Amino acid sequence: MSTPTMTHRLAAEFIGTFWLVLGGCGSAVFAAKFLAGDGVSLGIGFLGVALAFGLTVLTGVYAFGTISGGHFNPAVTLGAALAKRVEWSAVLPYWIVQVIGGFAGGAIIYAIASGAPDWSPTGNMAANGYGVHSPGGYSIWAVLITEVVLTFIFLLVILGSTDDRAPKGFAGLAIGLTLTLIHLISIPISNTSVNPARSTGVALFNADGAPSQLWLFWLAPLVGAAIAGVAYPLLFGVAEELADRPVRDDELDAR
């Protein structure tokens, strides 16, 4: 098989991040609190939104993981680089297309939602927040701890499920279910980020304080991912060399 070029990899990261924001944030905007004409709630609620985020990552990893590694998240890219799963020269290009992909997903949500009568994007774009902008009114420190810890666990699962020693073919399932569980824990706390591109993609459309709070939803996931990227090889050992590109399953089988 031919080796994916950087252009191929960046295209995969753009589409995967676009899909994550459209599917995850879109489910929150369009379906979380949907009311039928008779007032009966047909909304999917927190559980449905959590599943939507998990499914976007699960499907994205299986579709694009062998091309780009299936990061769709600047924090994942940083953790992977620190764990020597991707080359450092790919980090900045990945971050750029991930943010652009997230913004494109937010723009599509905005364009579709604007077609509903009396809809306003202010406070209605599934943005992340703390304090008065937290769904449950959680403090900045509660949100900071939540985002660092959950991103740390997310990266450990990603690194573990894609390790040479892990069963082949199950990484997407493990990663998607972990993201689902993360959302079940933290939607009431921060509306769940663990992904700076996801946060950035909707914050500017949402306004209502979301842009000014973006710094936390960059800082906390990157810190959590960095800790995991350094800790994983120290805790569990490592068999990989520094990657020149994402490791493919067929190559692992040939080793």
pLDDT digits (tens, 9 = 90+) for 180-239: 999 999 999 999 999 999 999 999 999 999 999 999 999 999 999 999 999 999 999 875
Burial (CB count within 10 angstroms: exposed 0-12, middle 13-18, buried 19+), residue 26:
buried
The answer to whether residue 243 sits within a structural domain is: no
The CATH number of whichever domain residue 23 belongs to comes to 1.20.1080.10
The answer to whether residue 252 sits within a structural domain is: no
Total domains in the chain come to 1
Give the domain extent around 222.
Answer: 6-235
**pTM listed for this prediction:** 0.91
Q: Which residues of 164-177 are buried (b: 16+ CB within 10 A; e: fewer)?
A: eeeeeeebbebbbb
The answer to whether residue 37 sits within a structural domain is: yes
The answer to whether residue 248 sits within a structural domain is: no
The answer to whether residue 175 sits within a structural domain is: yes
The answer to whether residue 1 sits within a structural domain is: no
The answer to whether residue 119 sits within a structural domain is: yes
pLDDT tens sequence across 102-149? 999 999 999 999 999 999 999 999 999 999 999 999 999 999 999 999
